[in-house]
Structure 1
Amino acid sequence: MKFKCIKTALLSAMLLTSLTVYAEGSKSGIESQYFDNSTKPTDDFYQHTNGVWLKNNSIPDDKSIWGTFTILREQSISQIHDIVNSVLSKSFSQGTDEQKVADLYSSFMNENEINKLGYQPIQAEIAKVNSLETKKDIASLVANFSKIGVTTPFDIGVTQDMKNSTKIIVELYQSGLGLPDRDYYLKDDKKFKEIRQSYLNYIEKTLRLVGDTDAKNSAKNVLRLETQLAQAQWTNVQNRDTPKTYNIYKTKDLATLSSQIDWKQYLDVEGLTGKIDTIQVAQPSFVKALDPIVRNNSLAVWQSYFKFHLVNNFSPLLSQEFVDNQFNFYSTQLREIKQQKPRWKRGVDVVQESLGESLGKIYVEKNFSPEQKQRMEDLVHNLLKAYEQSINKLDWMSTETKIKAKEKLSKISVKIGYPNKWRDYSGLNIVSGDLVGNVIRSREFEHQYALSKLGKPVDRDEWGMLPQTVNAYYNATLNEIVFPAAILQPPFFDMEADDAVNYGAIGAIIGHEISHGFDDQGSQFDAMGNMKNWWTPEDQKKFKEKTKALIAQYNNYEVLPGYHVNGELTLGENIADNSGLSIAYKAYELSLNGKPSPVIDHLTGEQRFYIGWAQAWREKIRDGQQLEYLKSDPHSPNKVRGNVTLLNQTPFYDAFGVKKGDQMYLAPEKRVSIW
């Protein structure tokens, strides 16, 4: 998806906005009650800052993670639930957003009726699988299933052209797996073998629940087929090589990649015929590998595969035996979650998937003030100014490349809180009591919404996250940073707190998102969002040397026995963490206007800044979930982010007197500083 931006003023004309007025009489924003004073900050800063919280808090039974982000997400979902309840208490005309919210939520909460239906709501889709006559018909089924959210071997997305950011194109990408990552199929260590056996049992039970009398053999075939798909896919690290994923083919030439897929039929059913004549193929080698995979698996095997994924994708919306079966594997066995979320939370999730912005509009009216928006704008402006000054002072970059970097920085667009215009859901039909039908129509509605962008100008007003989402992002093809309202709360952003902790928390997150424009991937895009080299060869060489050192640094950290951080997979996020925190510190210094930082709660501003950073990453996580993240998540684990980032920040050493011999000490020549 592509989104709208609020243009910032040119940096050359932008005045630095001071926030120090908020420091007078304000609280520190530091949660010192969670300090573990038995651990020195110079030995384990994350543990020192969060140790008491980590000791006294356990992960709720219905969660795999518990920490700052999940706590705020729980708060957000409760607030959305209140909004849904307020809608339920009134009557609304047919076709209004409120009617749709009420009927969709009520259809999910009608558990008795859902249990009576069993898998009847998806029998029409199962019939499509059973009616396949030849493998040539697979193309049509894949297209139909991709519209309604069923996992298929390949899928499409509508996106901006990475080499012409004013144009919308279609991307064909690899898919098709039921486990979180290809490594789950291909690694032979004990843990992954156990997971594969559990997954095999889950596939068997799922197929048996919909009447497969030979489910045991069918399950073996499905797992073997998925393993073949996994073998054909690139690794997550390979996928980070952005230029290699940009491969433009004429649609009429797709058959040269894979003749076993009826591409004409596929494009017809997807609704793309006549709308496109070229397509971006993310992994051409994967598409080529589909030929032997399709050829070497019988039609019956493919039918078992599609039937399993259909049931798997819709299980949360079916009767309790399907819900429990899926929960037992994906939540309990894979992620060690002990208990299902309350039904009302799952119901809110369903409504947000289908009608998220209609709820978001009410959410921001109730929970996001103009004062919060203004103060965030001030923070962003200060971070951009600090970034400009930092670029000017870089000792490893030439003047020529600095000019291009500052041009890109000056054109970064900023979105804070919520979109300037809201989605129109008038074309979506929600029917009382028809849960699965409602979800199918919602997903088809989203599919058509995406296709409607083709041939039109890029919509710069669009957001890629809901306002009630606790997160933030950078979009390279729009060169924009986006901060939804829900993340702009303590401990990330505290309106009543002194500046230092806000700069250390939300300021570093702002810096993090800005830095994505200059990480190993974002740096390949110019100021207009086009994939274009703006570096001199020598500067690019120096940049890669620095990123290579950062990869090696993070590779050293063993998070679970035998499993380390993957420094290549997490490189972009690690660059953003290190650069974002560094820039946030410089912005905090600038906000002081040459005055010493105020001492609050016996802590200097510099100390509060770094504590603000560490307490923002407070988290406990189950081993199963951590393993999944190590294999598939481009972010380093939170404790690694909270500690390792600090090792590269020389002002941190000054703030806490870190010296040689301390566990938080890294020799100056080994510290990595990029931006």
Structure 2
Amino acid sequence: MIANRPLVVAITVCLGLAGLTASADADAQRRRAARAPAVAPACSDFYHLANAGWLAANPLPATGANSALAQLAGNAQTQQKALLDAAAQQPANEVQKLLGDFWASGLDEAAVEADGSRPIAPLLARINALGRNRELPATIAALHQVGIPVAFNFNADIDLKALDRHLGYFMQGGTGLPDPAFYTRDDAPIQHVRSRYRDYIKQILALTGTPANRLEREADAVLALETALATPSQALARINNPFNNYAPVAVAGLDRQYRHLRLGDFLKAQGVSAGQVSLAEPAVFASVDRLVGNHPLADWKAYLRWRVGDSMAPYLSRHYREAEFEFRGRLLRGQSTPPARWEQVLQAINLAAGPMLGREYTATHLTTADRRQAGLIIDKLRDAQIAAVIATPHLSEAARTEARAKLQAMKIEIGAPLRDLDYSVQPMGRGSFGSNMLIATTWRQREEMRRIGQSNADRRWEVLPQQPALAYDIAQNRLIATAAVLQPPVFDPAATTAAKFGSFGALVGHELSRAIDHKGALVDARGELRSWWTPADQTAWALLTSRMERQLAGLAYPGVADARINPALVRDSALADLSGLELAWQTWQEIEPQAGSTQRQQFFSAWAQLWPQAVSPGEALARQTGQVQLPGPLRVNAILANLPAFGQAFGCSAGQPMQLPADQQLQIWP
């Protein structure tokens, strides 16, 4: 029977042979695998090994992200809350009394609700009383004085030709959407945002007194006026470049050039007496000048009421807060729920009176011993960076001389600014949170305006002491370590010396390198804006960056399907990470040359444990296109793979995932 079915027999035989062959191949593969040495976990994926506990305890969120450094920031917030709770109950000094009252007024939601629009009633009354366009400039100036910028922006910032001095900058502004393009583009997503924005404008106008029968017309008028302000304005990406905003002009000629705006009177109202300010967008201010002179006053009044209500909405009653959150929080920022009330109040206090809270935070949470220990580590790293600069072949003799001078002149500030704002803020009391916000923002605005024309730029920190930050300030050539950053996992006073250098030390080294990299080379040791690199120095840097780009090219972006790292976006930060690790390792080795394998492993584990993260798919996609640092897994694995010391500490062989072959490894410092 079977003989009569040759095809069936043939198929059966072939299938049998195929099965035997496959089985033989599998056996051969198993034998080869058994003979091949296993790759130790530390040598295949050190990030997941070092952070296994954290990753197990912190699952992937549905939205947003979590990380070890985000938890550090959250801990700093909890510390601030405890400080403010104590200040509200039993203040130890006058500053604590002010802060405690401010805090209590914000947490009293019943009082905030009962307050309604009362905190902004005087501002609204002034706007409603406007009778002629010629009265507009004084009202615009008055709103700027209380920290509500309308029609344009005016801020104190560094004078690019004298980096120790502040200059007043007139800039485009006075609009509520994120970029001027939101007012002019007609694609569907932008139109949707504009439609929702108009709805939000209507809500705020209704809360600030517009009758129902005028809401549609006034909302259209506000949107039209903001569109007129935005149309001649520059894209956000362009104005974020400080060089595009720097155009010093004499104050004396401004009133003749912009006769309706009366910018000279504006400056006097802000308390600014400097003879020079920056105004880089004359076309924008010519347009604002025409609008102030000729645009219907009723439209201006609606716009000003809207800007007051919008600016103050987070600090007023529930209807204001909910309207603001639905547009800015849910639509623009993608938040699903608003922060807890205490977080909202803390954010407000940091915005309006942050330096006051910073001084109290530093006094409470930074010990003299920790400050001294952090300072010693920074000094050791700076000495190592100077030695590395002297020995490097990457820089010319002239560049080595300038880099050494710049590093030696670098200021180190730990904890809080050595000098900062005047703390004579007016008593705020517990009666009205919205009124307290206006008192505090008026005080902050006054202090900012006092900087203009003064050589006191070294008094400004761009971060608050209670915010975890370790940063290099290129304009003032200083390294800043805030009080809040001197906590685990960045700085653990109880950790071994090896771990301190692997975490805090490596981060310090990262920032030190920024003083002398391609951007740091734009400011010299005397604080003058000039490039001190030769063409040969620039070529050497280009070679380093191209080698780093080649390493990173093609690496998968964690959490984003089929996405790759953008090497040009992250290369500078990656080079600084590698530089920092090299310097920290060399410095620690000199301090503890006899350290054993356990301590050497602690050094690298401390670095890895800075970077665990749990990132939702949506957030990962946003970071892939915009974040200038490597994501956590690659900040560990891709950087450590360059260090022979890592391979020696964990017994990794060249060519394994965590140890690049020697000819592919990148070394920055000899």
Question: What value does the CA root-mean-square deviation take over the aligned residues?
Answer: 4.3
How far is 1:515 from its partner?
Answer: 2.5
Change (3 A) 1:308 1:50: farther
Deviations 1:324-366 (A, max 9, x none): 2222333333334333333233333334444444444443343
- The residue aligned with 2:491 is 493
Distance 2:616 2:187 in 1: 19
Q: Match for residue 613 of structure 1?
A: 607
Greater Cα offset, 374-383 or 171-180: 171-180
After superposition, what is the alpha-carbon deviation per residue over 1:196-219, rounded to whole angstroms, capped at 9, x for unaligned?
Answer: 554444334333433443545655
Amino acid at match of 1:451: M
Aligned-pair CA distance for 1:317:
1.2
C-alpha spacing 1:114/1:662, structure 2 compared with 1 (3 Å): same
Once the two structures are superposed, the pairs formed by residues 34-113 of structure 1 within 5 Å of their partners are 45-50=46-51, 53-57=54-58, 64-90=64-90, 96-113=94-111
Give the aligned partner of residue 325 of structure 1: 323
Whole-Å separation in 2 of the counterparts to 1:222 and 1:40? 61
Q: Deviations over 1:12-33 (max 9, x none)?
A: xxxxxxxxxxxxxxxxxxxxxx
> What TM-score, normalized by structure 1, do the two folds share?
0.78
**Letter of the aligned partner of 1:80 in structure 2?**
Q
Aligned-partner Cα distance in 2 for 1:175–1:565: 35
Per the normalisation by structure 2, the TM-score is 0.79
Answer yes or no: is the 8 Å Cα contact 1:391–1:402 preserved in 2. yes
Indicate if the aligned counterparts of 1:168 and 1:458 stay in contact, CA closer than 8 A: yes
Query: Which residue of structure 1 aligns with residue 477 of structure 2?
Result: 479
What amino acid does structure 2 have at the position aligned with 1:470?
A: P
User: Residue by residue, what CA displacement relative to the aligned partner does 1:55-88 show, whole Å, maximum 9, x if unpaired?
Assistant: 5425889x94432233223322322222223233
Distance 1:672 1:232 in 2: 48
Q: How does 1:545-560 map to 2 (within 5 A)?
A: 546-547=544-545
1:389 aligns with 2:361: no
Give the letter for the 2:524 counterpart: D
Contact 1:260 1:291 in 2 (8 A): yes
Contact 1:335 1:623 in 2 (8 A): no
Instruction: Give the match's secondary structure for 1:101.
Output: helix
Kept in 2: contact 1:335–1:624 (CA 8 A): no
Structure 2 counterpart of 1:516, which letter? Answer: R
- 1:398 Cα offset (Å): 0.6
SS in 2 for 1:493: coil
Task: Give the deviation of 1:517 after TM superposition.
Answer: 1.9
Instruction: Please tell me the residue identity of whatever aligns with 2:587.
Output: A
Equivalent position SS for 1:527:
coil
Rounded to whole Å, the distance in 1 between the matches of 2:291 and 2:548 is: 39
Residues 146-166 of structure 1 show CA distances to partners (whole Å, capped at 9, x for unaligned) of: 333324453223234332234
How far is 1:440 from its partner?
1.2
**Which string of whole-angstrom CA distances, capped at 9 and with x for unpartnered residues, describes residues 602-652 of structure 1?**
xx61x4333322321233355666677778776565556455554665655
Task: Map Cα deviations across residues 66-113 of structure 1 (whole Å, 9 max, x no partner).
Answer: 3223322332232222222323333789xx223312321222122112
Q: 2:508 aligns with which of 507, 510, 523?
A: 510
In the other structure, the counterpart of 1:116 is 114
Q: After superposition, where does 1:326-345 map in structure 2 within 5 Å?
A: 326-345=324-343
Query: Which of 537, 540, 546 in structure 1 is aligned with 2:538?
Result: 540
**1:578–1:673 Cα contact (<8 Å) kept:** yes
Is the CA contact 1:479–1:528 (under 8 Å) kept in the aligned structure 2? no
Provide closer, same or farther for how the CA distance between residues 503 and 92 of structure 1 changes in structure 2, counting only shifts above 3 A.
closer
Secondary structure, aligned partner of 2:90: coil
In proportion to residue count, which structure has more helix?
2
Secondary structure, aligned partner of 2:381: helix
CA, structure 1 residues 637+599, in 2 after alignment: closer, same or farther (shift >3 Å)?
Answer: closer
Q: Give the Cα separation in 2 of the matches to 1:652 and 1:256.
A: 67
> Structure 1: where are the runs of 5+ without partners?
1-36
Asked if residue 580 in structure 1 is aligned to residue 574 in structure 2, the reply is no
Greater RCO between the two (CA within 8 Å, min separation 6)?
1
Note the C-alpha offset of 1:396.
Answer: 2.5
Residues of 2 paired with 1:39 and 1:180: CA distance?
49
CA contact (8 A) 1:240 1:569 kept: no
Q: Equivalent residue for 2:246?
A: 246
Which residue number corresponds to residue 366 of structure 1? 364
Gaps of 5+ in 2: 1-37
- Between the aligned partners of 2:626 and 2:234, the Cα distance in structure 1 is 12
Measured in 1, the distance between the counterparts of 2:588 and 2:265 equals 58
Closer/same/farther in 2, CA of residues 318 and 64 from structure 1, 3 Å limit: farther
Alignment check: 8 A CA contact 2:518 2:538 kept: no
Distance 1:271 1:357, change over 3 A: closer
Identical amino acids, percent of aligned pairs: 24
Q: Which residue of 1 aligns with 2:525?
A: 527
Structure 1 CA distance for aligned equivalents of residues 369 and 80 of structure 2: 22
Does the C-alpha gap of structure 1 residues 281 and 592 become closer, same or farther in structure 2, counting only changes over 3 Å? farther
Rg larger in structure: 2
Cα 1:662–1:284, aligned 2, differ >3 Å: closer, same or farther? farther
